Structure 1
Amino acid sequence: MSFNPLEQRGIPLDRQVRNWRELNVTPVDPDHCDPYTRCRIITMNGIEVEAILFSHQLARHCPDMEIKQQLARTRYIEAQQQKAVNWLLPGVSSVLETTIAYEQVAVDLTAWVARMEPDPYLKQAYQFGVLEDFDHLYRYANLYEMIEHRKAESVVDGLTEVMPGRPTPLHHRDPVDNVREPYDRTKTDPLSKLHALTIMSAEQQTMNFYMNTGPTYMEPIARRLYQEIGLIEEEHVTHYESLVDPGETWWEQLVNHEYNECYLYHSFMEQESDPKVKAIWELHLNMELEHLHLACDLMRRHDGREPAEILAPALPNVLTFEPNKGYLRQLIADQLDLTTLGAGYVREAHERFEAMQEALNGGATPPSDEVLAEHDKLIGGDHRLQTEGEHPVADLRGGRS
């Protein structure tokens, strides 16, 4: 049955503040929870962080005191939601275990969006990016085995394969080649707007996570790897945020953010296997329905338009965390050698790409390749989990052939 959030009323805003007891959520058990429950938690944390940051930016550009106060009220609730969601993650998990879960999110969320995206240009952007996140997962898995002497299998539980993607050293491009063409807000499918916001928010949260956790390690090899992949996440945020039409007004963007939160909380509520976590998704959905109506009122008042003009008449099919092994293997076979040139993609290294590689590496070994070499020396070989036959690039260890 279709669900139209514009026709639903949620919890009134003045009844949404939770006390400390209500915010004191019980974290999931990392040894027994569905790995995709953890993925949904990480995703919604990124979505809530983006909602908070966007609201702050809107407030900084808004001279109207009444609107700033309304934004502050809603933003406080978003901040409570973010705390409840992020605090579902278990404190007993190491930073590296959480990192591997972040990359599982990046792989399976982006792969699902790529499969469902109706716009060919946007689909290509997601296909390109997911092969890089796939390799990040592989590099962190090698580091995890070196430092904590455990297999990434214990985190991803076989749902996501751990093996090489596009080699991480080849992800460093001239910054201008990370900027894509935006969708046209007047023509694009409303689903495409939700996809772009979702992946941008998830990658932004990953970028922030690596920026803040990387220097907490004592091991030099870990510090270097987080530094390298953290820089690539900066490239990914540029890649994905540039897909959003900059012609959208502040109020249109606010409505899209709130509608997307409704879409994702509804999606995750529909598929969540943990009853306690599902109850949080349901509660937050009912909060977001009211946030959406408040945003719609602002859009009507300041843009003079009906939100229904830009939104889907009902929520799309639920966004689903599920294995994407066959799809990713096909992308590896078809697109592994792509890089970017301007707003497009090419299969040949070009002058700007080679100049960036030389400026960054300067003859030194990239940290992501150091991890493989160190793993080979200490343990032998490299870490990869295979569950469905041979990897099409099983001998790829980094570098361009």
Structure 2
Amino acid sequence: MFNPLEHKGLAPDQQLRSWRELNVDPIDPEAVDPYTRCRIITMNGIEVEAILFSHQFARNCPDDEVRRQLAYTRYVENQQQRVVNWLLPGLASVLETTLGYEQVAVDLTAWVARHEPDPYLRQAYEFGVLEDFDHLYRYANLYEMVERRKAEKVVDALTEVMPGRPTVHEHRHPFDEVRAPYDKDSVNPQSKLNALTILSAEQQVAIYYMNVGPQYMEPIARQLYQEISLIEQEHVTHYESLLDAGENWWERLLTHEYNECWLYHSFMEQESDPRIKAVWELHLQMELGHLQQAADLLRRHDGREPEEIVGSAGVPEPLLFEPNKQFLRHLLATQIDLNKLGEGYVREAHERFEWMQEQLHAGEKPPSEQVIDMHREQFGDEYRIETEGPHPVQSLRAAEGDRRA
């Protein structure tokens, strides 16, 4: 079992890199393992969250010595983020990268849901992943319309592309996005890492879409990014509300650094590209140094040992990017009609949900529905990748129709 707290890593004063070291060669979009792309996108989101958190900590910290230490580490984190994000190629279009983002959202969230020890938190991930699954389907249809290319060139056969919970039904009242948080003092340490990981990934999706959407000239593309970016903002609310607001700044700093160690170690263990693996190895050594600093700050300012926050057993098993087809098909068959009400889940379209639908759609088809209609008009059908047989919900409905007949 890998325990980051037992490793000193690279000393912070040895972590600054020159332009030559930052100027990494990007991946080849035509030859890359799709899950290598997913690991890059994931770690970009993790590094962005680390940077944003550090800025917020600094704005709420009266201790100048701590603020200087945060500033130094934050600069290094910025260098890490530039290296990771700059591994993505300029040759890839925004839509191609978007398909990578949604593949991350699907297979990362599915893995976390499968390995989440807390049933309540697991349900939160199971609910969310069916929505990202549908986003992948909508963008895949847009991709073929706009660029005349098929999503299988990006996601391969690793992730299926077919309808999830319809995007049109994902627009809910903001009140119903707020979940009950875990209890920081009793929750399994893995649950803290899971929540922070998915929050960071969804936050980066929301930031990416709200910035790249206006770059398109095609009206349907601009509109679809606008619609789905609003839902990704809902997802950020959904996942951030799972965090215990009672966690102080020192605890959160330690958890952020510990989480980065877990993920870089996980991806280093799994990476198939030796050049990218070397990046994960280096960044792991850097994050181990950051973790030691965070542990010292926790001891000095909070009077506690880091094991009280993240446990003493070491990180959980490595987080893996792998196909989740049967798991997702099970969720499609059992949870596609779930809705939210307060802190719970229901199966009916309640009054607050219907009110939100009326305010937003005003009786018109949203872009997520229009894009499928337009694809059918152009190509005669919608675009899908179904490698494990027909869509489970449609199969169940067909069987029910046969029984009634």
> What TM-score do the two structures reach when normalised by structure 1?
0.98
User: In the alignment, what sits opposite 2:352?
Assistant: 352
User: In the alignment, what sits opposite 2:400?
Assistant: none
User: In the alignment, what sits opposite 1:212?
Assistant: 211
Within a 5 Å distance, the mapping from 1:292-331 to structure 2 comes to 292-313=291-312, 314-331=314-331
In the alignment, the residues of structure 2 paired with residue 56 and residue 197 of structure 1 have an alpha-carbon distance, to the nearest angstrom, of 17
User: In the alignment, what sits opposite 2:3?
Assistant: 4
In the alignment, the residues of structure 2 paired with residue 321 and residue 376 of structure 1 have an alpha-carbon distance, to the nearest angstrom, of 32
Verify: 1:145 aligned to 2:144, yes or no: yes
User: In the alignment, what sits opposite 1:399?
Assistant: none
Worse overlay, 286-295 or 307-316: 307-316
The superposition leaves residues 295-332 of structure 1 with CA deviations (integer Å, 9 ceiling, x where unpaired) of: 11111111111111111321110000000000000000
Letter of the 2:251 partner, please give it. E
Deviation at 1:381, TM superposition (A): 1.1
Letter of the 2:87 partner, please give it. L
User: In the alignment, what sits opposite 1:34?
Assistant: 33
> What TM-score do the two structures reach when normalised by structure 2?
0.97
In the alignment, the residues of structure 2 paired with residue 97 and residue 72 of structure 1 have an alpha-carbon distance, to the nearest angstrom, of 34
User: In the alignment, what sits opposite 1:367?
Assistant: 367
In the alignment, the residues of structure 2 paired with residue 191 and residue 141 of structure 1 have an alpha-carbon distance, to the nearest angstrom, of 33
User: In the alignment, what sits opposite 1:88?
Assistant: 87
Letter of the 1:255 partner, please give it. L
Worse overlay, 383-392 or 53-62: 383-392
Deviation at 1:395, TM superposition (A): 8.3
In the alignment, the residues of structure 1 paired with residue 138 and residue 203 of structure 2 have an alpha-carbon distance, to the nearest angstrom, of 20
The superposition leaves residues 321-352 of structure 1 with CA deviations (integer Å, 9 ceiling, x where unpaired) of: 00000000000000000010001100000000
Query: What is the DSSP-based 3-state SS (H/G/I as helix, E as strand, rest coil) of the residue aligned with 1:340?
Result: strand
The superposition leaves residues 137-179 of structure 1 with CA deviations (integer Å, 9 ceiling, x where unpaired) of: 0000000010001110000011000000000000000000000
In the alignment, the residues of structure 1 paired with residue 257 and residue 43 of structure 2 have an alpha-carbon distance, to the nearest angstrom, of 13
User: In the alignment, what sits opposite 2:399?
Assistant: none
User: In the alignment, what sits opposite 1:291?
Assistant: 290
In the alignment, the residues of structure 1 paired with residue 239 and residue 309 of structure 2 have an alpha-carbon distance, to the nearest angstrom, of 20
In the alignment, the residues of structure 2 paired with residue 140 and residue 321 of structure 1 have an alpha-carbon distance, to the nearest angstrom, of 21
In the alignment, the residues of structure 1 paired with residue 316 and residue 121 of structure 2 have an alpha-carbon distance, to the nearest angstrom, of 17
Q: Size of the alignment, in residue pairs?
A: 395
In the alignment, the residues of structure 1 paired with residue 225 and residue 165 of structure 2 have an alpha-carbon distance, to the nearest angstrom, of 17
Within a 5 Å distance, the mapping from 1:2-401 to structure 2 comes to 2-313=1-312, 314-394=314-394
In the alignment, the residues of structure 1 paired with residue 394 and residue 213 of structure 2 have an alpha-carbon distance, to the nearest angstrom, of 29
Q: Is the 8 A contact 1:164 1:393 kept in 2?
A: no
The superposition leaves residues 211-261 of structure 1 with CA deviations (integer Å, 9 ceiling, x where unpaired) of: 100000000000000000000000000000000000001000000000000
Deviation at 1:380, TM superposition (A): 1.2
In the alignment, the residues of structure 1 paired with residue 330 and residue 365 of structure 2 have an alpha-carbon distance, to the nearest angstrom, of 29
In the alignment, the residues of structure 2 paired with residue 119 and residue 265 of structure 1 have an alpha-carbon distance, to the nearest angstrom, of 24
Letter of the 1:334 partner, please give it. T
Query: What is the DSSP-based 3-state SS (H/G/I as helix, E as strand, rest coil) of the residue aligned with 2:222?
Result: helix
**Identity percentage of aligned residues:** 70
Deviation at 1:3, TM superposition (A): 1.0
Worse overlay, 79-88 or 306-315: 306-315
In the alignment, the residues of structure 1 paired with residue 270 and residue 32 of structure 2 have an alpha-carbon distance, to the nearest angstrom, of 14
Unmatched tracts of structure 2, length 5 or more: 397-405
In the alignment, the residues of structure 2 paired with residue 157 and residue 59 of structure 1 have an alpha-carbon distance, to the nearest angstrom, of 42
Query: What is the DSSP-based 3-state SS (H/G/I as helix, E as strand, rest coil) of the residue aligned with 1:355?
Result: helix
